[in-house]
Amino acid sequence: MQLAPFLPLMYRILKPSFPSCLWSGHDRARSIALTFDDGPHPSHTPKLLEVLDRYAIPASFFWLGACVRRSPELAKAIYQRGHWIGNHGYDHRSFPMLTPTELQHSLVATQEAIATACDLPTARVRDVRPPNGLFTPQTLNLLHQWDYRPVMWSVVPEDWVCPGVAVVVQRVMQQVQNGSLIVLHDGACGGTDVADVAALLIPQLLSLGYEFVTIDTLWQQSLSLTNQGFFSSLTSGDRSF
C-alpha cells in the first residue's frame, strides 16, 4: 500500500502534537528546504550534486553512518560545497526498535563518521531525522536529553518506492508551500531517480519564487517565531507565567 496519499494528513496531525520537532518553516517566508536521506551513495549522489551545482542552491543531507564510512571523500565534497549535514542513524534501523544504549551508539557513531570525513566538530552535527520517520515520545526525550535537534518533514512524495520521476515531481508541486520541508532520497532506495527529479523540480520551484535554504535556516526561523510569540504575549499583558 502506498503511503503518499496519507502523508499530508499525518503531517497535519503530528506537527501540533510534537512541537519540539522541526516540521517546516513559517508560512510568511517564501523559503523551502530540500533534503536528502540515506546517502551518501557513490553513484546516485554525485549526479545529484551536479544538479545542485548547476542551480547553485543549498540542500540538507541526512546521512547514514555506514554510508559515510564507505564514501568519506564524497561526504567531504558535499560538505565543502556548503550543504547542511544531518544524522540519520548508522544503518537505518528504526529508532523505536533500539534500546537507549543502542540508539545513542548509532547516533554517536554517525556523528563521529561525519566529523572525521568532513573535518568538523562533532557538536556541529546536531540535527537528527529518524529513519522511516518513526519515533516515540521517549525517542524525542532522549534526543533532547543528548542535545540533538529532531527534524521531520512536511512534503514526502514517497520516492523510495520509485513511482517515476514525473509522479514524484507532481506530488511535490501539489503540496509545496511557504516553509515546506521536502524529503527525497539519494540512497539505495529512491536514489536512482533523484538527480532527474531534482533537475525537473528545482527550476519549477525557482520559477514560483521559492528560495532554497538549509535546515539550520528553518530552525532559526522557528526560533524567531517563538521569540516573537513570547514578546507578543508580554506586550499584550499576558503575565500568566
Active site residues: 37, 185
- Work out the number of other CB atoms within 10 angstroms of the CB of residue 158: 19
Cβ(212)–Cβ(34) below 8 Å: yes
Helix (DSSP H) and strand (DSSP E) numbers for the chain: 9, 7
- Torsion over CA: 212, 4, 175, 24 (sign): negative
- Work out the number of other CB atoms within 10 angstroms of the CB of residue 116: 15
How far is 207 from 59, CA to CA, in rounded Å? 18
Say whether 210 sits in a helix, a strand or coil: coil
Cβ-proximal residues to 23 (8 Å cutoff; 6+ apart), any chain: 11, 14, 15, 152, 153, 154, 181
